[in-house]
């Protein structure tokens, strides 16, 4: 997944591969991109049925 943050006037536009969202600061856009990335990663783990401990040390 590619996250693009671009300036538009006094706002920042986050394009997360589909919908575009605007934020007042670049830090807010970065935080939202990070939250989206973590959410998608957790969802992928749930779909595969993995647990954190299994991925790190289990077989």
- Residue 39 covered by a domain: yes
Q: State the number of CA atoms in the 13 A half-sphere of 42 facing the CB.
A: 6
pLDDT of residue 56: 55
pLDDT tens digits for 36-52?
988 888 888 888 877 65
Structural domain total, the chain: 1
For the whole model, what pTM was predicted?
0.73
- Residue 8 covered by a domain: yes
| Spatial separation of the C-alpha atoms in residues 9 and 6, rounded to whole Å | 10
**Does pLDDT of 54 surpass 90?**
no
pLDDT tens digits for 3-29?
999 999 999 999 988 889 999 999 999
Query: What backbone phi and psi angles, to 5 degrees, belong to 26?
Result: -70, -35
Q: Which domain holds residue 8?
A: 4-53
């Amino acid at each position: 997944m590619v996250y693009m943050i671009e300036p538009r006037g006094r706002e920042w536009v986050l394009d997360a591969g589909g919908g575009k969202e605007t934020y007042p600061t670049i830090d807010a856009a970065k935080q939202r991109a990070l939250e989206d990335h973590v959410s998608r990663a957790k969802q992928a783990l749930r779909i595969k049925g993995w647990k954190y401990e299994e991925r790190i040390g289990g077989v």
